[in-house]
Amino acid sequence: MGYYNSTEPKRRNRGNFASGFTGILAGAVLAGVVLPGFTDIEQGIGIGEDTQQVENVSGVENVSSIVTSDVTEVVDATSAAVVGVTNLQSAQQNPFTQNNGGEPQEAGAGSGVIYKKEGDSAYIVTNNHVVEGAEQVKVTLSDGTEIDAEVLGTDIWTDLAVLKTDSAEIKDVAEFGDSSVLKAGEPVIAIGNPLGLQFSGSVTTGVISGTERSIPIDINKDGTEDWQAEVLQTDAAINPGNSGGALINSQGQLIGINSMKIAQASVEGIGLAIPINSAIPIIEDLETKGEVERPALGVSILDLQNVPAPIRQNELNLPAELEKGVVVESVAKSSGAEAAGLQQSDVIVEMGGDDITSVLELRQYLYTKAEVGDTLDIKFYRGSELMEAKVDLTEGI
């Protein structure tokens, strides 16, 4: 599946990245979480009630009750840190809008979370697909105040983006929690803007359904998995516009960025969020560098499984039993791979002691286990001979 633009464009059809996926997760789309089902007894949620009786002009008494609970207290303390994010693009870019002299028009709207206020600036985390292609970005605060925002950086692999805006109107900032200690069944609260700003500040409740889910993502919409997103699962009903919103624990701490859902007629209540522990290093890189620093081998590659068997055996001269690995299509000049002696048509089968059977596995290893400057032990086939090399990893984008 791929990243779906859950900003719900009003004037253009941006297309769903999810169309590239097949199988049970083909309908997974990025949107944003709505959380059902906080049960007071089962979840230990406290409720208080202040009741007043008021007699109206007809002599009939109305009962007025002010109900408070752990949920309402958390929402009161955190909701102002959740904002609306509007993606503005010019009419020339958007073929489905009338030409208004090139003035940027709303292409979609999502959510964001204010995570830091420092001097004259405030910083907001949202999803990459919420601001993708934006010429301008507007942020709408919980009281309806609209302010301009600058996109500091985006990351397509983790679907995160960081915005910067003036802090004069901003009072509340979300507190980061620890997503590594979450347990299945733990109650959570989601705050966001389903259907854009039409239902801004919507609050829903639910539980953590699973903590270490891997969801395949098709970044370039070619029908092949490019990435495995590590996400939290919740029994939330996610709707377009909730993307980038807050998933909050019972202590009022931000433990996830709402991002996607499984959207199939036969599937209900599978919402997904980016764990905050995974998001924090990405947020820091985007805020300070504008991009995420990731290591690179210095090669272009393809899956060996995509190479016909006759070519594998007759042209690459590989062992007949070798069916999985990563073929080196080309080697970049002055790269770590070139310095290590890797050549075109080499087939990588192991990195750092881990078997490598596909481009997806190679990328996951580099982006999650390795760092720029590491020296990586690699095993590869050159023809029928299994060889080894040590590759110094350089910075890639």
User: Which residue type occupies 351?
Assistant: M
Q: Is 195 left (phi over 0), alpha (psi -120 to 50) or beta?
A: left
| Cβ atoms of residues 64 and 52 within 8 Å | yes
Question: Other C-beta atoms within 10 Å of 158: how many?
Answer: 24
CA distance 194 to 111: 8
Alpha carbons 188 and 35: distance in angstroms, whole number: 7
Residues forming a β-bridge with 255:
none
Contact 202, 193 (CB under 8 A): yes
What distance in Å separates the CA atoms of residue 210 and residue 182, rounded to the nearest whole number?
Answer: 9
CA distance 92 to 394: 39
Q: State the DSSP string of 285-304.
A: HHHHHSS--EEE-SEEEEEG
Decide: residue 195, CB within 10 A, 0-12 exposed, 13-18 middle, 19+ buried. Answer: middle
Q: Which residues are catalytic?
A: 129, 159, 243
By DSSP bridging, strand 394-396 and strand 105-118 are unpaired
According to DSSP, the residues that pair with 242 across neighbouring strands are none
Alpha-helix runs per DSSP H in the chain:
40-43, 70-78, 128-131, 276-289, 309-314, 336-340, 359-369
Beta pairing, strands 253-262 & 175-176: parallel
- Please work out, in degrees rounded to the nearest 5, the angle formed at the alpha carbon of residue 80 by the alpha carbons of 79 and 84: 90
- Residue 125 and residue 154: Cα distance in Å, rounded? 10
Contact 110, 241 (CB under 8 A): yes
